[in-house]
Copies of this chain bind each other. A is one copy, B any other.
Amino acid sequence: MDTLVQTPRTTLKRRPGRGSFDRALINSILDEALVCHIGFTVDDQPYVVPTTYARVDDRLYIHGSIASRMLRNLAAGVPMCFTVTLLDGLVLARSAFHHSMNYRSVMVFGVAREVADLAERLRAFEAVVNHVMPNRFAATRAPDEQEIKATSVIALDIDEASAKVRNGPVSDAEEDYALPFWAGVVPMKLVPQAPIPDERLLPGVPVPPELTSYRRAR
């Protein structure tokens, strides 16, 4: 089992039993989520910005417009926190106090690096598109020179990271099990709905097989 080194920043202060430094678990959460929340600080003000991303091996890529304030700050080397959260269920206990959520989350700490190398930039573009749907990049028009220039790419190595997971049933106080309240778990799932083909789709263009079978959980 490949396990990351625990650091002061990744040590869970609360409920350490829910924490994990197992790289396979961390990767599975990073690969299932579609949106991350990136934290960075400018003039003492923290910002938390949702965006797309991709994992390639032990590295995360984030891209966006060269005009993006977030990417300019991250490229300049401000410390960042990259968090993804998958909501798996509502935990409805007999007591208000023991209500909870089932979830899987990952936090990655570090300083990003601006990706200048063209080949690595292209790999990042491909990875971000294919993170959304397998094989999608090959089924699109590739970025042209102007689009490549207009896009900033940063990389964050997954060196300092932890996962936190709650799963399983309600955990009520022993005396509360005698109470006549409904209790249980409501699993929650991010479910793709029927695709809406673009109005200007050319006639005869087939639906990609990856779309027909599309689901998020691996």
How many copies of this chain does one complex carry? 2
Q: Which of A19-27, A78-86, A113-121 contacts B (4 or more CB under 8 A)?
A: A78-86
CA distance A125 to B87 in the complex (A): 21
The answer to whether B193 and A181 touch across the interface, beta carbons within 8 angstroms, is: no
A142 partner residues in chain B, CB cutoff 8 A? 96
CA distance A5 to B48 in the complex (A): 20
Of the residues B97, B109, B133, contact of A143 by C-beta under 8 Å: B97
Of the residues B40, B99, B139, B206, contact of A46 by C-beta under 8 Å: B40
Range of interface residues on A (Cβ < 8 Å): 35 or more
**Interface members, chain A 153-190 (any B CB < 8 Å):** 169-170, 176-190
The answer to whether B13 and A68 touch across the interface, beta carbons within 8 angstroms, is: yes
CA distance A214 to B45 in the complex (A): 37
Distance from A49 Cβ to chain B, minimum over Cβ atoms (Å) = 7
The answer to whether B198 and A187 touch across the interface, beta carbons within 8 angstroms, is: no
Known contacts A13-B67, A45-B109, A49-B83; is-contact A182 B129 (Cβ 8 Å) = no
